[in-house]
Amino acid sequence: MKADKFTLLRHFDGFPKSNDFRLESEELGGLKPGQILCQAEYLSVDPYMRPYTRRFTPPFTMIGAQVAKVLESKNDKYPAGSYVVAGNLGWRTLSVAKDQPEDGKAPTGLEPLPELGDLPRSYALGVIGMPGVTAYFGFLELCQPKEGETVVVTGAAGAVGSLVGQIAKIKGCRVIGFAGTDDKCAWIRQLGFDVAINYKTCADIDAALKEAAPKGIDCYFDNVGGMLSHRIRQQMNLFGRVSVCGAISSYNDKTGQEAQVPVPEMAIVSKQLRIEGFVIHRWWHRREEAFKDMVAWVREGKIKVQETVTTGFEKMPQAFIGMLKGQNTGKAIVKV
């Protein structure tokens, strides 16, 4: 059988371009004991993929997770007709896969599809997948929110940020979200965010933030880094907690270009802030805790899910580039 795949030809220099990728075909051999043949149904495009490609030497199959159907199997754990979530197969239509040492320890492994019931299988790449676990543990474990506290979320209309804001509301917090379009701001208000600020058009972010959080900010979930995060830290309360999930504001800088922000230590010291970064591998062994709560909250209507779906494997680069430009609302996925 032949598989289609996208090869990344070179490291990105600045914003990714369509000619950084090449669509290729590959002949697959027969299965060996322990292997499965799986066909991609949904593929994920996520911000982390942009910086993580630096870990590999081009050319290589572009990285990423997928939900796939098992077509043939020589592994009793994954019978033919079942579905898997595979974090390490990348941008491919067909794959021969087998268990890896990281299975169950990291989202890059091969795992059976979580128990979703009547929920869409694509949710295993979002709210009941890596982004959901990221939002759940990254916020609850590091920010440790208390009822009545004020929480700020950047990247609030994205796959992770939109979930963090809704979890914060479930925990009884006042939630302020930053997003990049008026439509996204309207959407996160529909999700329950108390205040939504368009960081691209707001004339005075400091004043808008002071009006939205007159008593200061207790928790900040940081998806963007850069100057916006600097401004938010300036208005945090004593002993505020910051969970650093990403820095998408700088992911597409050209090689050697560095974001210029004021020295952060004065606010950190004077406000005695606790700032902690994380990688989701840290809690992946506890993912079932997150899955249980997230499924329940979705079914109860406490968490609302939106997906931006691009149809057609050939549009993988388009979906990836669009996500990095902020063209998605909620989780960006590709349906093969």
Cis peptide bond upstream of 59, omega within 30: yes
Class of the CATH-defined domain 2-126+306-335: alpha beta
Residue 261 pLDDT class (50, 70, 90 cuts): confident
**Is 130-281 the same fold as 2-126+306-335?**
no
In this prediction, residues 26-39 reach a mean pLDDT of: 96
60, pLDDT greater than 90: yes
What is the residue extent of each domain of the chain?
A: 2-126+306-335, 130-281
258, pLDDT greater than 80: no
75, pLDDT greater than 70: yes
Contacts of 135 (CB under 8 A, 6+ apart): 160, 161, 163, 164, 167
Least confident interval from 39-43, 79-83, 256-260, 314-318:
256-260
Q: Is 21 helix (H, G, I), strand (E, B) or coil?
A: strand
Q: What is the pLDDT of residue 109?
A: 86
Query: Is residue 241 a contact partner of residue 274, using CB atoms and an 8 Å limit?
Result: yes
CA separation for the pair 325, 328 (Å, rounded): 8
Count of residues making up the chain: 336
Per CATH, the number for 130-281 is 3.40.50.720
Strands 174-179 and 195-198: parallel
Q: What is the pLDDT of residue 256?
A: 52
Say what percent of the chain tops pLDDT 90.
Answer: 91
- Nearest 5°: the CA angle 121, 122, 128 is 85
Output the pTM of the full model: 0.95
In this prediction, residues 191-203 reach a mean pLDDT of: 97
